Chain A
Amino acid sequence: MTHYDAIIIGAGMSGLAAGIRLAMYDKKVVVLERHYVWGGLNSFYQFKGHQFDVGLHALTNYAAKGARGLPLSRLLKQLRIRWDELDLHQQGFSAVSFPGVKLKFSNDFELLRSEIARAFPSQIDGFDALTREVREFNELDLDAPQQDARPVVRRFVTDPLLEDMLFCPLMYYGSAREHDMDWDQFVVMFKSIFFEGFSRPQQGVRHILKLLIDRYRKAGGELRLKTGVKRVLVGATLASTGKRVDGIELEDGTVLTADVILSSAGLVETNRMVGATLVSPGGAPNVAGGASPAPTGKLSFTETISVLDQPAKHLDIEETIVFFSNTERFNYGQPADDVDTSSGVICMPGNFNLPAEPKDHLVRITNIANYDRWGTKRRDAGAPPASVMRAPCPQLRGEAPRNHAAEAATSHDYYAAKQHWYERSCADVLAHVADFRPHVKLVDMFTPRTIRHYTGHEGGAVYGSPRKLRTGATGIEGLILIGTDQGFLGIIGAALSGISMANRWVLQRDGAAIETG
């Protein structure tokens, strides 16, 4: 039987970062990944000779080279990566676009501030005060009491339109809760998006993943792909006052033992592997906390990918990312229908300030979607052409229009639904960006079902459970939660989660044990 100092469940950002830290300090560590590729929520695939990213629109938490004390700088030092190696290129500018008002923002916070002063002159003093409150809040204090964000924000911002415009990007890029956020998560997202901002490597997420996987292997870490975990094995502690982790059983029946297990599988999913409800001992529960079974996240998404025949800029689409709502009140919640196309995120990856024009000119649109409705659609309905999506708007090319809505509604067919919602999704962004549809030459789309498949998250919940275990402690000695459900968000946040949990629960303890031993 193989024994490890640490087993890490999941080869996403948090698992790989934790793995690098442990391997770097000569721990015997293995990362187990159910899928055949690493990356988890942030991955990539090839489709008809084109390379697409999953998850990553942008790296939040931009920090200039040499900037001090920011999450990105911390991450680089902890993983021993030079700033230049990340190959980061900043956004041009982005926008939050609601009916009748558009607020531009960039990596220079002053742009957002001046836009708010222009569009909401009565709110600017309140916004400045909110900004100070955010700046002074220490989101790294994992033991701080939890509170809802909206009541705090309303103390400063009294116009509900501006309130929703501020929440829209922060929620889309990281909220596991419907309709509100935990205040500390609001702060994390506000800083990472509005203070620090967006950037991306020329080659997108695959570049970051390659850096991490190379570091991990070079440090001597072991990675097992296509290796699902069936159960986490829990035994009694010597003191028999509690439980501690023994190891894991793989789906093929193999047992691996370990001193520590770091699970990035998610809270609900880890509960299932343990066969019990994990509760952080002594840690302050977040707003959705308590001892009841952990709720499965309700927020899942569809994403459409359109490949254009020319750069988006040539069609007068200048923004890097547009967060939009077609209604004044932005509704961040599980839709009753398959997809809620009334709000979303439009990303033009080619509009980052990249040194070279990307090979593919993409428009990606993200909308909130209902996992249960997608999960029950039939995939064998055989409505041809089944799996290959058509470029949009046959009517624009002089072809006879098809009624995809009717097809989708009557057949419950997965592929017909994809075609229908692709077209709805594109049509519903046209108040915010120019009509790119006549220039689309290739289409793909992923659904909550795809997300479930790639991430293993129940309900296709991109940001995990609304309940977070912020200290990582689970009540079972040696079993630590990392990643999304530890509560750090975004690529940088997830990686820092893995790093800080590996430090706190393995490396620092190790030091203490040696000194006293």
Chain B
Amino acid sequence: MTDEHIKQAIIGIIADIAPDEDTGSIDPAVRLRDQMDLDSMDFLDIVMELRKRYGVQVPDTDYQHLASLDSCVEYLRDKMAGKQLVS
């Protein structure tokens, strides 16, 4: 999976979790929390969706790496290698 695909995977999950948010204009460098209404319950959902869709495990201690789209890409690059984007 390319970096761009990883971004799309995360954006796809956020669009499902927060259907009222505009996911078209997310700044990848800025913390997701600062751009939209996401709380700790929602980050739990992002983690669970990653597991459900891509079989990727994110331990509690690594939640911090999901702060922004850019940091998600950094953190998930190895874990998502070879996976197919789920639309």
Contact = CB atoms under 8 A, between A and B. Distances in A.
Contacts of B51: 511, 514
A50 interface: no
> Which range holds the interface residue count of chain B?
10 to 19
A74 B44 CA distance: 13
A49 to B, nearest CB: 36
A75 to B, nearest CB: 10
A201 B42 CA distance: 26
B20 A82 contact: yes
25 contacts: A25-B48, A25-B52, A65-B20, A69-B39, A73-B37, A74-B39, A76-B20, A77-B17, A77-B18, A77-B37, A77-B42, A78-B41, A78-B42, A78-B45, A80-B16, A80-B17, A82-B19, A503-B44, A508-B44, A511-B44, A511-B48, A514-B57, A515-B57, A515-B59, A515-B60
B1 interface: no
Contacts of B60: 511-512, 515
Contacts of A83: 20
Interface string B10-27: 000000111110000000
Contact of B48 (A74, A77, A82, A507): A507
B21 to A, nearest CB: 8
Tell me whether chain B's interface is mostly helix, strand or loop, or mixed: helix
A124 to B, nearest CB: 33
A71 to B, nearest CB: 11
Contacts of B59: 515
A515 B60 CA distance: 9
A26 B55 CA distance: 14
B47 interface: yes
Nearest to A78: B41
Contacts of B18: 77
Given A80-B16, A503-B44, A508-B44, A26 B39 contact: no
Given A80-B19, A503-B44, A511-B60, 7 more contacts: A26-B52, A66-B20, A74-B41, A77-B37, A77-B45, A81-B19, A500-B41
A197 to B, nearest CB: 19
A314 interface: no
Interface in A278-334: none
A155 interface: no
Interface of A: 25-26, 65-66, 68-69, 73-74, 76-78, 80-83, 499-500, 503, 507-508, 511-512, 514-515
Interface of B: 16-20, 37, 39, 41-42, 44-45, 47-48, 51-52, 57, 59-60
Contacts of A503: 41, 44
Contacts of B57: 514-515
Q: Which 4 A-B pairs have the closest CB atoms?
A: A68-B37, A82-B19, A515-B59, A83-B20
Nearest to A76: B20
A76 B18 CA distance: 8
Contacts of B19: 76, 80-82
Nearest to A70: B37
Contacts of A499: 41
Contacts of A74: 39, 41
A131 B85 CA distance: 49
Nearest to A81: B19
A503 B44 CA distance: 9
Nearest to A83: B20
A22 to B, nearest CB: 11
Contacts of A68: 37
A73 B39 CA distance: 11
A469 to B, nearest CB: 21
A371 B52 CA distance: 48
Nearest to B48: A25
A212 to B, nearest CB: 16
Contact of B37 (A69, A512, A514): A69
Contacts of B47: 511
Contacts of A73: 37
A114 to B, nearest CB: 30
The residue in A26, A81, A511 that gathers the most chain B C-beta atoms within 10 A of its C-beta is: A511
A511 B47 CA distance: 9
A18 B30 CA distance: 33
Nearest to A69: B37
B19 to A, nearest CB: 4
